[in-house]
Amino acid sequence: MKKSLLALPLGLAFIMAGQSAFATTGTINFQGRIDSSTCPIDVIDPATSAPGGPITIGYPNTNQFPTSGSESVGKTFQLKLTPGGGCVVPPGSTAATVMFSAVHGGVGPGNELYALKPLTGVAQGIAVAIKDNLGALIPNGVASRAYPISITDPSTLAFHAVYKSFAPPSGLTAGPAEADINFTVTII
């Protein structure tokens, strides 16, 4: 009888050891992103006060560009900087500049305009131009003038986007006119 009781615990030990031999392995995929931005910035459509986009410039006709350098009416938009929530404005900073960079490159004289996305049937001879709130052109890849900002209150930086022709009227064609433009805000 003692032999059978000793065999029972030894048998259970072998069964338990056998189960661990059937373990499986797998892979866990981790995803995320590390940002260097210290300040949340919202793109605001002033007509609706809604954050986000897209910003609709309008639907001008090709005959509204009678010469190279002609501009459409366009659309005002704002960048809103809100202190707090990760936004650190260094003490003594009272201004910010914004540099816009065309995802699809610069076009026009000195590549100062923002090229359109290469969509099927894209408009030709037209690009996006961005101006500051005083009407001065902000060339592709060049910092804007300094805008005053607050260390404690939300600050809005106003800009105006237009379509601008860089070709004579004979070089213009109608079609989709969308542009992707990155921006970098530098607090000074």
- What is the chain's mean pLDDT, rounded? 84
Residue 148 lies in domain? 41-59+67-187
**CATH code for position 164:** 2.60.40.1090
137 falls within a domain = yes
The confidence score (pLDDT) of residue 33 equals 47
9 in a structural domain: no
In whole angstroms, what is the distance from residue 79 CA to residue 69 CA? Answer: 26
In the block, tokens 């005002």 appear at 76
Q: Within a domain: residue 48?
A: yes
**pLDDT tens digits for 168-185?**
999 999 999 999 999 999
8 inside domain: no
Q: Both ends of the chain: CA-CA distance in Å?
A: 89
Domain count, the chain: 1
pLDDT tens-digit series, residues 113-156? 999 999 999 999 999 999 999 999 999 999 999 999 988 888 99
Residue 27 lies in a domain: no
- How do residues 69-99 score in pLDDT, each as one tens digit? 999 999 999 999 887 767 767 778 899 999 9
* Structural domain includes residue 145: yes
Residue 1 lies in a domain: no
The proportion of the chain whose per-residue pLDDT surpasses 90, expressed as a percent, equals 59
146 and 96 in contact (C-beta within 8 Å)? yes
